[in-house]
Amino acid sequence: MSLSGPINDSNVGFGHLKWEKGFEEWNEIPRQLGNEQEAQVAATTSMASLSLPTSLTPPTDAQEADLTYSYDPTIMNRIQVQEEAIGSSPTRRDADSIQLESDCKLDRMVSAVTTILECIGENASREGLQKTPERYARAMLYFTKGYEEEIDSVVNGGIFHENHDGLVIVKNIRISSLCEHHLVPFTGTIHAGYVPDGRLLGLSKIARLAEIFSRRLQVQERLTNQIAAVIEQVIEPSGVGVIMEASHLCMVMRGVEKTTSTTVTSCMLGCMRSNAQLRDEFLTLVQSKTF
C-alpha cells in the first residue's frame, strides 16, 4: 500500500503520513510477521529530509518489535518513532503520535519564522536572533492554546443546582488575544453575567471559558459573542450578558495610531436581551465601583 501526493491538514490524522508539496513520495513499509500480518510504520515528517533503510529485517518475536528512526539532528534533535507490537495499548500509540505531531509543528513554525526574519533583511544567525524563531514559535503556540482545549474539561463538574434567580456577574476578567487580521495583540476586560434557571456555574469557570476563546485568533465582536454563547450552552440560564472593552495594537502601532482609543462590544441573550429593566440593572452593576 502506498501513499502519494500532498495531504492537507483537513484529512491528516494520527497514524497517517504527513508532508508538504515537494517532498518525495513515501511508502508504508510492510513487515512479515509470523502470522503474515502487515504492520504499518506511521511517521510524521517535517521539513527535514529523513533517511530510511531500504530493507528491514523482521524481528523474530512480534511482541518485541521496536523500530527506531532518527530525523536529521540539525532539525529535530533525534525524534524517535516507535512501533509497538500488534495489540499494544492504543493510548500509548496516540501519545506517541501526538508528541510527534507537536514536534513536527514546532519545527515547521521555526522554519517559517526564520524565513520571515530573512525577508525583512535580518540575519537569523546573529547572536540576538539565533533562538528567536523557536521562542516565537513556542510563544505563538501558547497564545493560541485555546484551539486545543475543550469546554467539558474546563467546566469539569463546576455546575451547581441552586434556586438563586438574581443576577450573577463576574467583573473585570482580564484577557489577551491576537487580532486575526494582523496577528498583533489586543487586550482588555470582560464583564460576564447571567440569570440562573436552577443551575449555577462555578465563578472561576467563567474566566476559564473566556480564556479558551481568547487564546485563539479573534476579532473582538466574535469573542464577545462566543463567551456569551458558551455560558448559555453550559448552564442554560434565563439570560446572559457579556460586555468587553479592549485596546487593539493594530490601531495603536499602525494605521491610524490612536493610542488612547478603546473598543466596546456587548452580547445579550435571552431575558437579558428582551427585558430592558434587567439589562439596565446589569449595566449599572458592571459600571459600579464596589471596591
Single-letter code of the amino acid located at 163: N
Residue 278 is placed in which grid cell? 434587567
Note the pLDDT of residue 264.
97
Would you say 81 and 41 are in contact if contact means Cβ atoms under 8 Å apart? yes
Domain at 157-287, CATH from 1.10.1330.10, 3.90.1150.10, 3.40.50.300, 3.30.1130.10: 3.30.1130.10
Would you say 225 and 240 are in contact if contact means Cβ atoms under 8 Å apart? no
Q: Hey, which residues does 36 pair with through a beta bridge?
A: none
Residue 153 is placed in which grid cell? 474539561
Mean pLDDT by groups of 10 residues along the chain of 291 residues: 40 36 38 42 39 45 41 38 39 75 92 97 95 97 95 93 94 97 96 97 96 98 98 97 96 83 96 96 90 60
Collapse the DSSP code of 232 into the 3-class scheme (helix H, G, I; strand E, B; otherwise coil) and give the result. Answer: helix
108 CB contacts (<8 Å, ≥6 apart)?
46, 47
Q: In this structure, what are the phi and psi dihedrals at residue 241, rounded to the nearest 5 degrees?
A: -135, 135
Would you say 261 and 275 are in contact if contact means Cβ atoms under 8 Å apart? no
Residue 216 has a CB neighbour count (10 Å cut-off) of 18
Q: Where in the chain is the domain with CATH 3.30.1130.10?
A: 157-287
Of the candidates 128, 105, 102, the one whose C-alpha atom is nearest the C-alpha of residue 117 is: 128
Kindly give the interhelix angle for 220-235 and 203-214, rounded to the nearest 10 degrees. 140
Residue 44 has a CB neighbour count (10 Å cut-off) of 23
